[in-house]
Amino acid sequence: MRDISIHDLDDIAMGAAVLGTGGGGDPYIGKLLARSAMKDRPPVTLLDVEELDDEALVIPTAMMGAPTVMVEKIPSGDEVITAIRSLGEYLGREVVATMPMEAGGVNSMIPFAVAAREGLPVVDADGMGRAFPELQMVTPTIWGIGATPMAIADDKGNSAVLNTISNHWTETFARSLTVDMGASALIALFPMTGKQVKEATIPGTLSLIQRIGSAIRESHEEHTDPVEAVCEATGGFAIWEGKVGDVARRTVGGFARGTASIQGVGDYEGRTLEIDFQNEFLIARDGDDVLVSTPDLITVLDAETGEPITTESLRYGFRVAVLGIPSDHRWRSEKGLELVGPEYFGYDFAFSPVERRMG
Amino acid sequence: MSLRIGVDVGGTNTDAVLMDNRRVVAKLKTPTTENVTSGITTAIRSVLDQSGAQTDAIDAVMIGTTHFTNAIVERRHLQPVGIIRIGLPATAALPPLIDWPEDLVEAMESSTYLVHGGYEFDGRKISDFDPEEVRTAARDIAARGIRAVAISCVFSPVNSDLEEQAAEIVAEIVPDVMITKSNEIGRIGLLERENAAILNSCLRDLANRTMTAFEQSIADLGIDAPLYLTQNDGTLMLADYARTFPVLTIASGPTNSMRGAAFLSGLDNAVVVDIGGTTSDVGMLTHGFPREASVAVDVGGVRTNFRMPDVYSVGLGGGSLVDFDANTVGPRSVGYRLTEQARVFGGDTLTATDIVVAAGKAEIGDASLVANIAPEGVAKALGRIQEMVETAVDRMKTSSEPVPVIVVGGGSVLVTRDVEGASQMVKPDHYEAANAVGAAIAQISGETDRVYSLEAMSRDEAIADAKAEATGRAVAAGAAPETIQIVDVEDVPLAYLPGNATRIRIKAVGDLAMDPS
């Protein structure tokens, strides 16, 4: 158990963007939301998974919607409170803690805003260890834990509680509601007991992103290589260095899909890395050779500053370093790969761990 | 015949050129004065005298200035702003001025008002707009004696109606009010667009005074020609427009240099290295315009989403200090004191300029004063300078293909050899005045940034609609319609939204209509 203060948010947001693997939304808005909720309030308690009582009710909180809308229609701030309270009331039990389901991107920050306002601790864990485009793509799904009952709330005070037969249905309904709510909504979902959190989520993710963020900050302060610092903090591999060439984008079924080509420089001169994305980076390949594939993380960093670059801001001419970071072992299980492996995203090759290719 | 005067007021020097169509007739570099206007007057008078041109033959005067950037950075001459945001109940979590530096907020003494209204991404209303809420805010603004008002509204780039309505209400209530509507100034991204509108508002009085002073000094010189200010995208706005949108002048300096380099060299696609006294700005020209930075741009500590050139700055200039032991050149510099402190001018500071003279690559000052420097040291320092330039050029290139490299600016002598990766090296005539030339030849632009639903129309129709709007804006700003070209088209499908919502950004650019009636 330790305190997270308003001054820790910058590091956490920076690390969150690294694990956002190009998606997950810009943590900037999330950081401001957390900061304004934490201002003039006591620090938020970060709880180790092991410190949770087995019976405790934990309700993760998140933002759902289009990143472009999130930066334009900013929340009222009450949506997420409405969501977590209405789910607590529906379950008829006291909420003991909140946590992120997706620590990559904007959703690393929302639980801190909730925790500050509701006086709750945040559990140092998440359900992805990264970002993924769909709501059911979390490790609790592997354990058969449902996303519902789930509450969703908008800026106007509307809210709904969903009960569904599968997490795929939850995704479908929640997406429709989100669009009705103006393509940006706040959600409380995957209510879990302390016992379930311990067995089915990824422990320590918030501490990890804080370490990544502080590694980047310190590398700036000490003028050392930030890309190397991120590799060390994450156990990742620098798989490419180059300049962004063409970025082809298209929208399919509400997802921003596309391919970015990175023209190699230095050791990679004369070769081109292709990275496919669907909100997040999915596959990185050099010709027919797949270097990294989902669920392992592909992160694109500004080669000079080490700051992560999102799929939406990726543009011709950027000089970047590409990292492959091993995903949590839970994702590499048979059930994990069914949910988020290459085949799920329509690729016809099997997952191969990044460390096996690079190590 | 078309005679134009271009002036670029930088932190250290003010440059001026007189151009006859595409030819540089006269040029001058003079230290920037504390009173910016008197420096401009001196510079213009000098180029007029040099050329013998008649003042009544001058067709236009173009000025690029760091005046407004400095006001924000130094927190000086800023006025209080009334900020009205339309969007409740949304947006309440992050009120205006959030994440602004405290000293800037204090310097501005603003008051903020959140009212109901605003739009969803698809044009639906967030809530009912209540004119009475705006009236109440306006009465409070009037009571506080505030005369600058910034109005923002959720999704105003998609629908500007509510910002317009609110502006009308405020204008009825607040005497002599100066209103900035966010949709006129920025893109999607409420906080960044609103920030730009607020920054613009706090500069309005200063802009009025400055434009009046500029116009006065031109009138005093006997010039009866329209006055333009250069914007950060390398295009022009009339002085009257600059009174309304002073914030658009921010970062026009590097843009002017790059545009000037393109013009003087005749190259549209190239890397430009602009070497000054203390720093070098390196940028990439595509289709004759600087490539834009795509990340949020910080202006005096405030996050904005302006159209800014993507410029990489390195601490290398003619005045850069040379340290043989550490094998470094810069980032410290003697700056404008080069002519007092450099060895070749009898000073005792070893600068990059001294190295180049010692190597016999330039004739500046007295070469005998640097004759005793060890040749190995000179060679090493020259190598270091070359390395710094090459690294910066390589960083800005978009591919490993060789590209032309254009070197401009007063410190251009530092580049003594071909840069690796350059298909050709160009140091055009009048290279030292490229920034003022860039101001003199600047064009007029119009821009649009909207979200289209591609259910009711095709992508081509949406782009055509956006092009028509951008073109209309360029003509309204003073471009000759027959010269307009679309220079930038960007469409980004929006994640998570059904119905193929796509955000389209278009920029249209045309030559200045010489009769801006």
For residue range B44-91, list pLDDT tens digits in order: 999 999 998 888 889 899 999 888 888 888 888 999 999 999 999 999
Cβ contact A68–B118 (<8 Å): no
Q: What is the pLDDT of residue B395?
A: 77
Residues of A with CB below 8 A from B91's CB?
73-76, 155
- Domains present along chain A, CATH in parentheses: 2-205 (3.40.1610.10), 233-358 (2.40.390.10)
Average pLDDT estimate for B21-28: 90
Residue type, B59: D
What is the pLDDT at residue B366? 92
- Lowest-confidence segment of A304-313, B115-124, B197-206, B258-267 by average pLDDT: A304-313
- B94·A74 Cβ contact <8 A: yes
B403 is a domain residue: yes
Q: What is the pLDDT of residues B114-128, one digit of tens each?
A: 999 999 988 899 999
Is B66 in the same domain as B212? yes
Residues in chain B with CB shorter than 8 Å from the CB of A256 are 492-495
CA-wise closest residue to A69 among A29, A10, A111: A29
Contacts of B294 in chain A (CB under 8 A): 313, 315
Question: In whole numbers, what is the pLDDT of chain A averaged over residues?
Answer: 92
Does A74 contact B191 at a Cβ distance shorter than 8 Å? yes
Q: Under an 8 A CB cutoff, do B399 and A243 touch?
A: yes
pLDDT band of residue B493 (cuts 50, 70, 90) is low
B352 part of a folded domain? yes
C-alpha neighbours within 13 Å on the C-beta side of residue A155 = 32
pLDDT for B454 beyond 90: no
A81 touches chain B (CB under 8 A): no
Give the residue on B whose Cα is nearest the Cα of A185: B90
Interface test with B, best of A32, A38, A69, A82 (most B CBs within 10 A): A69
Q: How many beta-carbon pairs under 8 angstroms link A with B?
A: 150
Range with lowest mean pLDDT among A110-114, B107-111, B491-495: B491-495
Statement: residue B253 has pLDDT above 90: no
Residues in chain A closer than 8 A to B120 (CB atoms): 73, 182-183
Residues 323..352 of A with a Cβ closer than 8 Å to B: which?
A: none
Shared domain check, B189 and B246? no
Q: Do the Cβ atoms of B495 and A315 come within 8 Å?
A: no
SS (H, E, C) A191-206: CEEHHHHHHHCEECHH
Q: Distance of alpha carbon B171 from its chain centroid, rounded?
A: 30
A29, A74, A183 member nearest B496 (Cβ): A183
Indicate the residue of A66, A73, A263 with minimum beta-carbon distance to B90: A73
- Looking at residue B13, its pLDDT comes to 81
Tens of pLDDT, residue by residue over A246-293, are 788 776 666 668 899 998 988 898 999 999 998 899 999 999 999 999
Q: Does A36 touch chain B (CB under 8 A)?
A: yes
Is B398–A245 a contact, with Cβ atoms under 8 angstroms apart? yes
Q: Is residue B516 part of a domain?
A: no
pTM of the model: 0.85
Residue B175 within any structural domain of the chain: yes
Q: Which of A66, A71, A155 sits opposite B496 (nearest CB)?
A: A66
Q: Does residue B369 share a domain with residue B486?
A: no
Q: Which of A129, A138, A104, A133 is nearest to A336 (CA)?
A: A138
**How many residues does the structure list for chain B?**
517
Round to whole Å and give the CA distance between B72 and A305: 26
Give 3-state DSSP helix, strand, coil % of chain A, rounded to 5: 35, 25, 35
Quick: pLDDT tens for B386-408: 999 998 888 787 666 789 999 99
pLDDT number for residue B294: 63
Residue B455 burial class via C-beta count within 10 angstroms: exposed 0-12, middle 13-18, buried 19 and up: exposed
Interface touch B89/A313, C-beta < 8 Å: no
Q: Kindly tell me if the per-residue pLDDT of A122 is higher than 90.
A: yes
At A33, the pLDDT band (50, 70, 90 cuts) reads very high
Contact A32 B98 (CB under 8 A): yes
Of B378, B405, B438, at which residue does a domain stop? Answer: B438
Residue numbers of B between 219 and 278 with CB closer than 8 Å to A: none
* B327 and B418 together in one domain: yes
At B66 the three-state DSSP class reads coil
Q: What is the pLDDT of residue A281?
A: 95
* Residue A255 Cα, gap to closest chain B Cα (Å): 5
Distance CA B41, CA B131 (A): 47
Contact B22, B1 (CB under 8 A): no
Shared domain check, B392 and B363: yes
* B394 and B350 in a common domain: yes
Which residues on B lie below 8 Å from A271 (Cβ)? none
B64 lies in the same domain as B83: no
Asked if ipTM goes beyond 0.90, one says: no
Q: Are B408 and B271 in contact (CB under 8 A)?
A: no
Assess B359–A contact: CB distance below 8 Å, yes or no.
Answer: no
- Nearest residue on chain A to B91, alpha-carbon basis: A74
Q: Is B154 on the interface with A (CB under 8 A)?
A: yes
| Model confidence at B340: pLDDT above 90 | no
Note down the domain range covering B153.
79-202
Lowest mean pLDDT segment, chosen from A287-296, A317-326, B347-356, B443-452: B443-452
Tell me, yes or no, if B126 comes closer than 8 A to chain A by beta carbon. yes
- A76 vs B90: CA distance, rounded Å: 4
Residue that has been written with the tokens 């500029």 in this structure: B214
- Asked if B402 reaches chain A (Cβ–Cβ under 8 Å), the answer is no
Residue B29: what pLDDT? 87
Q: Between B165 and A221, whose confidence is greater?
A: B165
CA gap B401, B408 in Å, rounded: 22
* Number of Cβ within a 10 Å radius of residue A359: 8
| Tens digits of residue pLDDT in B302-312 | 998 777 788 88
Determine whether B515 is exposed, middle or buried from the number of CB atoms within 10 Å of its CB (0-12, 13-18, 19+).
Answer: exposed
Chain B residue at shortest CA distance from A175: B496
Shared domain for B30 and B178, answered yes or no, is no
Average pLDDT, chain B: 89
Q: Within a domain: residue B47?
A: yes
Q: Count structural domains, chain B.
A: 4
Question: pLDDT tens-digit profile of B356-390?
Answer: 999 999 889 999 999 989 999 999 999 999 999 99
**Domain end (from B202, B217, B238):** B202
Give a yes or no: residue B319 inside a domain: yes
Q: Is the dihedral of CA A108, A110, A111, A117 positive or negative?
A: positive
Mean pLDDT within B188-211:
95
Residue of B299, B256, B345, B343 lying closest to B13 (CA atoms): B256
Q: What's the half-sphere exposure (Cβ side, CA atoms, 13 Å) at A281? A: 36
* B495 in the same domain as B401: no
CATH number at residue B126: 3.40.50
Per-residue confidence band for B495, with pLDDT thresholds at 50, 70 and 90: low
Residues 174-233 of A with CB under 8 A from B: 175, 178-179, 182-183
Chain B residues whose CB is inside 8 A of the A69 CB are 121, 494, 496-497
Tens digits of per-residue pLDDT, A187-228? 999 999 999 999 999 999 999 999 999 999 999 888 789 999
pLDDT band, very low/low/confident/very high, at B516 (cuts 50, 70, 90): very low
How many helices (H) and strands (E) chain B has is answered by: 14, 23
B92 and B176 share one domain: yes
Same domain for B400 and B357? yes
Taking CB atoms and an 8 Å limit, are B497 and A66 in contact across chains? yes
On whether residue B59 sits in a domain, the answer given is yes
Contact B183, B163 (CB under 8 A): yes
Residues of B in contact with A255 (CB under 8 A): 495-496
Confidence of residue B290 (pLDDT cuts 50, 70, 90): confident
**Above 80 in pLDDT, residue A67?**
no
- Find residues 440-459 of chain B whose CB sits inside 8 Å of chain A: 451
- The Cα diameter of chain A in Å comes to 62
Domain edge (last residue) among B438, B470, B486: B438
B159 CA to centre of own chain: 27
* Secondary structure class of B417 (helix, strand, coil): coil
Of B90, B126, B493, the CB nearest to A256: B493
The torsion region of residue B409 among left (phi > 0), alpha (psi -120 to 50) and beta comes to left
Residues making up chain A, counted from first to last: 359
Q: Does residue B272 sit within a domain?
A: no
Q: Do B93 and A313 touch (CB under 8 A)?
A: no
- Which string of b and e fits B325-337 if b means at least 16 CB within 10 Å? eeebbbeebbbbe
Instruction: Provide the CATH number for the domain around residue B19.
Output: 3.30.420.40
Interface test with B, best of A64, A68, A177 (most B CBs within 10 A): A68
CB neighbour list of residue A40: distance below 8 Å, 6 or more residues apart? none
Preceding amide of B331 cis, omega within 30: yes
Instruction: Confirm or reject contact between B291 and chain A (CB < 8 A).
Output: yes
Q: Does A305 touch chain B (CB under 8 A)?
A: no
- Are residues B418 and B363 both part of a single domain? yes
- What does the pLDDT read at residue A165? 92
What percent of chain B is predicted at pLDDT more than 70? Answer: 96
B242 Cβ neighbours under 8 A, 6+ residues apart:
B207, B211, B229, B248, B249
Nearest chain A alpha carbon to B94: A33
CB B311 within 8 A of CB B274: no
User: Using an 8 Å Cβ cutoff, are A41 and A116 in contact?
Assistant: yes
CB atoms within 10 A of CB B303: 16
Q: Which of residues 79-98 of B touch A (CB under 8 A)?
A: 87-94, 98
A250 at the B interface (CB within 8 A)?
yes
Cβ atoms of A38 and A116 within 8 Å: the answer is: yes
Say what the pLDDT of residue A188 is: 97
For the record, the structure tokens of B161 come out as: 């109606």
Which among A156, A245, A249 has CB closest to B492? A249
3-class secondary-structure state, position B358:
helix
- Whole-angstrom CA distances from B481 to B4, B256, B287, B368, B463 are 20, 23, 19, 58, 19
Q: Which residue of B has its CA nearest to A308?
A: B295
Q: What is the pLDDT of residue B76?
A: 86
Instruction: Specify the pLDDT at position B1.
Output: 47
Instruction: Please report residues of A whose CB lies closer than 8 A to that of B451.
Output: 68
- Phi/psi region, residue B220 (left: phi>0; alpha: psi -120 to 50; beta: rest), is alpha
B105: tokens are 């907020």
Quick check: B89 and A245 CB within 8 A?
A: no
- Using an 8 Å Cβ cutoff, are B290 and B232 in contact? no
Residue B339: Cβ within 10 Å count: 15
pLDDT above 50 (res B349): yes
Q: Cα distance from B139 to chain A (closest Cα, Å)?
A: 25
Residue B517, pLDDT above cutoff 60: no
